[in-house]
Chain A
Amino acid sequence: MSPIDRTPPRLDRLRIPPVALAAGFAALAGAALILVSGHDPLSAYAEIVRGSLSPESLPDTLAWATPLVGMTLAAALPLRGGMVNLGGDGQLVIGGLVAALAPLVLAGPGPFGAAAGLALAALGGGLYAALAAWGEVRHGVPMLISSLLLSYPAVGVTSYLARFPLRDVATGLPQTLMVPLDARLPVLTGALNAGSLLIAAIALAVVVFDRRTSAGYELRMRGKNARFAGYGGVRLGRQAVGTMFASGAIAGLVGATLVLGSQFRFIDGALLTPAYTWSGLMAALLVGGEPVGAILAALFFAALQTGGFAMQRETSVPRVLTLVLQAIVILFLAMRQGIGRRT
Chain B
Amino acid sequence: MPEIAAAGIVKRYGGLVANDGVTLSAERGEIHGVMGENGAGKTTLMNILFGMQAPDAGEIRLRGAAVRFRSQIDAMAAGLGMVHQSFKLFGSLTAWENIVYGAEPRRGPFVDRRAARARVAGLAARHRLAVDPDARVGDLSVGVRQRIEILKALHRDARILILDEPTAVLTPPERDALFEVLKSLAAEGRTVLLVTHKLHEATAITDRVTILRDGRTVATLRTADTGAAEIVRAMTGRSVNLEVRKRPRAPGVPLLRAIDVTIASPSGRPAVDRVSLTVRGGEIVGIAGVAGNGQSELVEALVGLRKPDHGRVELCGRDVTDADVPARRAAGLAYIPEDRAAVGSAPSASAADNLAMGFHRAPPLARGLFVDPAAFAAWALALIRRYAIRIANERVAVGTLSGGNLQKIVVARELAHEAPALIAEQPTRGLDVGATETIHERLVAERDSGRAVLLVSAELGEILALSDRVLVMFEGRILADLPQERADEQSVGLLMAGRGTEPG
Contact = CB atoms under 8 A, between A and B. Distances in A.
Interface of A: 2, 4-5, 7, 211-218, 220-221, 224-225, 227-235, 343
17 contacts: A2-B390, A2-B391, A4-B16, A5-B393, A212-B371, A214-B369, A214-B371, A217-B360, A224-B346, A224-B349, A225-B342, A227-B342, A229-B346, A233-B325, A233-B358, A234-B326, A235-B326
Interface of B: 14-17, 303, 305, 324-326, 329-330, 335, 337, 342-349, 353, 356-358, 360-361, 366, 369-371, 373, 390-393, 399
Nearest to A221: B346
Contact of B345 (A218, A225, A343): A225
Contacts of A227: 342-343
B325 A231 contact: yes
Contacts of A225: 342, 345-349
B393 A217 contact: no
Contacts of B15: 4-5, 7
A131 B329 CA distance: 29
The residue among A2, A216, A225, A234 with the most chain B CB atoms within 10 A of its own CB is A225
Contacts of A230: 305, 325
B371 A213 contact: yes
A151 B399 CA distance: 38
A343 B343 contact: no
Contacts of B325: 230-233
Given A5-B392, A235-B324, A213 B370 contact: yes
B421 to A, nearest CB: 15
A235 B337 CA distance: 18
Contacts of A218: 360
Contacts of A220: 349, 353
Given A213-B371, A225-B348, A231-B305, 13 more contacts: A7-B14, A213-B370, A214-B370, A216-B371, A217-B353, A217-B371, A221-B346, A224-B346, A227-B342, A228-B344, A231-B343, A235-B324, A235-B326
Given A225-B345, A233-B329, A343 B399 contact: yes
A227 B16 CA distance: 28
Nearest to B365: A214
Nearest to A8: B15
Contacts of A211: 373
A232 B347 contact: no
B361 A214 contact: yes
Contacts of A4: 15-17, 390-392
| A217, A230, A235 pick with most chain B CB within 10 angstroms | A217
Nearest to A3: B214
Contact of A343 (B344, B348, B393): B348
A209 to B, nearest CB: 9
A54 to B, nearest CB: 38
A2 to B, nearest CB: 7
A234 B359 CA distance: 12
B136 to A, nearest CB: 25
B171 to A, nearest CB: 28
Given A4-B15, A4-B390, A233-B329, A214 B343 contact: no
B503 to A, nearest CB: 39
B357 A228 contact: yes
Tell which of B16, B303, B324 has the most Cβ of chain A within 10 Å.
B324
B326 A231 contact: no
Contacts of B349: 220-221, 224-225
Contact of B356 (A216, A217, A234, A235): A217
B356 A228 contact: no
B363 to A, nearest CB: 11
A170 to B, nearest CB: 49
A231 B348 contact: no
Contact of B346 (A212, A228, A235): A228
A187 B329 CA distance: 52
A190 B393 CA distance: 50
A232 B16 CA distance: 28
Query: What 6 A-B pairs have minimum CB-CB distances, sorted nearest first?
Result: A7-B15, A232-B357, A224-B346, A233-B326, A225-B346, A228-B346
A4 B384 CA distance: 13
A5 B385 CA distance: 13
Contacts of A231: 303, 305, 325, 335, 337, 343-344
Given A213-B369, A221-B353, A233-B325, A343 B335 contact: no
Nearest to A231: B343
A15 to B, nearest CB: 13
B348 A224 contact: yes
A14 to B, nearest CB: 15
B329 to A, nearest CB: 5
Contacts of B344: 228, 231
Contacts of B360: 214, 217-218
A231 B410 CA distance: 12
A212 B369 CA distance: 8
B317 to A, nearest CB: 21
B83 to A, nearest CB: 21
A102 to B, nearest CB: 30
Contacts of A228: 343-346, 357
Contact of A221 (B17, B303, B357): B357
A183 B305 CA distance: 51
Contacts of B14: 7
A49 B48 CA distance: 49
Nearest to A216: B371
Contacts of B373: 211-212
